[in-house]
């Protein structure tokens, strides 16, 4: 079986990305038949909203709960409920420990909106088992990449890796745009356009070593401080880059929500 790809998505603001009128939601939904055709046996999700401190946590419930960690009250009745995969979770913990990374199973943690917001669009039947792998606030660039690399072999076993964060994620700028009533996709700030472009050109580098070396000093890029006042929405990019192996990233979706880049990238092939 050929390897399944890594999908890196910017999940944006729930009030938009859960709406049928949103271009990113429509694009995610357009992936559903392609994901179904690929027949993944499981999905591993790395979300910007699941961050631990000092170790990596892997959800191991057979039926993870849905977490409503967002302000959109009309979605509180959402009941997207895929099964978990405790055996796969145990394998991931074992692989992380073999890479000298501290890791543990977490049978209590459910699926936050960084996971279910894109999954409800790309896998709407909620039949494919889902396991979440946390980020780690104390981890280095190399450690985030190493975590992704530990996931890479699973791609050849029918596991789809989804990294969900934001290529740019400045909440203050988003709120200013949202409450001003401006159109969400018009006139994004120059720093968001600039950093989005740097990420796209970096992930597209063909040679894996050069790609990672170029990505490593991301925090020193001119627009990073504006694009990411806090780093957790960028860390999924690092895990995706590790899980990608030799596959370069192809931008498969672009757009903005009040300054939030909604760019998405595919590393590897997803059947048409």
**What pTM value is reported for the model?**
0.93
Note whether residue 179 is domain-resident: yes
Note whether residue 52 is domain-resident: yes
CATH code of 262's domain: 3.40.830.10
Note whether residue 47 is domain-resident: yes
Domain span at 70 = 6-267
Relative orientation angle of helices 208-215 and 235-243, to the nearest 10 degrees? 170
Note whether residue 1 is domain-resident: no
Note whether residue 233 is domain-resident: yes
Note whether residue 114 is domain-resident: yes
Tens digit of pLDDT per residue, the chain (272 long)? Answer: 689 999 999 977 767 766 777 889 999 999 999 999 999 999 999 999 999 998 999 999 999 988 866 565 566 567 788 999 999 999 999 999 999 999 999 999 999 989 998 999 999 999 999 999 999 999 999 999 999 999 999 999 999 999 999 999 886 666 565 546 665 556 788 999 999 999 999 999 999 999 999 999 999 999 999 999 999 999 999 999 999 999 999 999 999 987 889 999 999 998 76
Note whether residue 20 is domain-resident: yes
Q: Are 153 and 243 in contact (CB under 8 A)?
A: no
Instruction: Specify the number of domains making up the chain.
Output: 1
């Amino acid at each position: 079986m050929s390897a399944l790809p890594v999908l890196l998505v910017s999940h944006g603001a729930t009030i938009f990305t859960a709406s049928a009128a949103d271009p990113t939601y429509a694009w995610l939904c357009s992936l559903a038949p392609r994901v179904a055709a690929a027949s993944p046996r499981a999905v591993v999700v790395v979300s910007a909203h699941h961050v631990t401190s000092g170790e990596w946590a892997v959800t191991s419930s057979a039926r993870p709960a849905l977490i409503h960690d967002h302000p959109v009250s009309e979605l509180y009745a959402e009941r997207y409920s895929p099964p978990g995969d405790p055996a796969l979770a145990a394998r991931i913990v074992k692989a992380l420990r073999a890479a000298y990374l501290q890791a543990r199973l977490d049978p209590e943690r459910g699926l936050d909106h960084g996971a279910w917001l894109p999954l409800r669009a790309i896998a709407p039947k909620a039949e494919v088992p889902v396991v979440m792998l946390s980020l780690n606030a104390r981890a280095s660039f190399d450690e985030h990449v190493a975590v992704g690399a530990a996931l890479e072999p699973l791609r050849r076993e029918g596991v789809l890796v989804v990294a969900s964060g934001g290529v740019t994620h400045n909440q203050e700028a988003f709120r200013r745009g949202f409450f001003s009533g401006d159109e969400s996709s018009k006139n994004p700030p120059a720093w968001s356009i600039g950093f989005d472009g740097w990420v796209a050109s970096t992930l597209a580098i063909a040679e894996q070593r050069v790609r990672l070396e170029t990505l490593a000093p991301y925090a020193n890029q001119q627009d990073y401080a504006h694009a990411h006042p806090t780093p957790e929405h960028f860390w999924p990019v690092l895990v995706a880059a590790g899980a990608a192996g030799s596959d370069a990233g192809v931008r498969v979706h672009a757009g903005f929500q009040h300054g939030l880049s909604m760019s998405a990238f595919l590393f590897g092939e997803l059947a048409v």
